[in-house]
Amino acid sequence: MATATGKTHCTICGKEKATIRCSGCLNEFCYKHWEPHRQELNKQLDEIELNRDLFRQLLNQQIEQPNNHVLMKQINQWESDSIKKITKTAEETRQILIKNNNQYIHQVEVKLNELTNQLCQFREELNRLTEQLTKPLNISIQEDSSSFISQISIVRSGEL
């Protein structure tokens, strides 16, 4: 990391002395200031390593617990909200269907009752006509024997 370069000016104190060039920052340091500079670089490296370790820990958490990711939580919330909206819409639609179906069934029942009444009336009429057809006629034959050939006529005794 450092190379000896001979006498130059120290970056810290500005004195011309034997210096060491830092290969990282390319500045010249005398031996008195070289050690503190090296310690500062080590401190910075330690902080970088600590930050790397913290980042690794965060990365491992996301690998081990992908459901805790902020976007995953957002997706889960979207899913939950969507399910609630779908459930609400489905229930409202079911209620509309039930209402319309009940109205339709009522209309069909009214028509069925009308048809049933008409069928009863037709049956009564058919029974009356059948009875009239099968009962003996309200007609009789009468003879008048006062003439040489007796007269015959039909007498009705009721209505058809």
pLDDT tens for each residue of 35-64: 999 999 999 999 999 999 999 999 998 889
Examine residue 24 and state whether it is found in any structural domain, yes or no.
yes
Range of the domain at 36: 2-64
Residue 74 backbone class (left: φ over 0; alpha: ψ -120 to 50; beta: rest):
alpha
In this structure, the chain runs to a length of 160
| Range in 106-115, 128-137, 150-159 the model is least confident about | 150-159
Tokens of 62: 């996301």
- Model confidence at 152, pLDDT cuts 50, 70, 90, reads confident
Examine residue 158 and state whether it is found in any structural domain, yes or no.
no
**pLDDT on residue 111:** 98
User: Is the separation of the CB atoms in 143 and 150 below 8 Å?
Assistant: yes
**pLDDT on residue 4:** 53
Examine residue 91 and state whether it is found in any structural domain, yes or no.
no
Examine residue 130 and state whether it is found in any structural domain, yes or no.
no
Query: pTM, whole model, 2 decimals?
Result: 0.47
Give residue 66's Cα distance to chain centre: 24
User: Is the separation of the CB atoms in 23 and 8 below 8 Å?
Assistant: no
Examine residue 144 and state whether it is found in any structural domain, yes or no.
no
The end-to-end CA distance of the chain, in Å, is 135
Could you read off the pLDDT of 135-148 as tens digits, one per residue?
Answer: 767 777 777 777 67
Examine residue 53 and state whether it is found in any structural domain, yes or no.
yes
How many domains does the chain fold into? Answer: 1
Examine residue 52 and state whether it is found in any structural domain, yes or no.
yes
Examine residue 149 and state whether it is found in any structural domain, yes or no.
no
Query: Residue 149 carries which DSSP code?
Result: S
User: Is the separation of the CB atoms in 36 and 19 below 8 Å?
Assistant: no
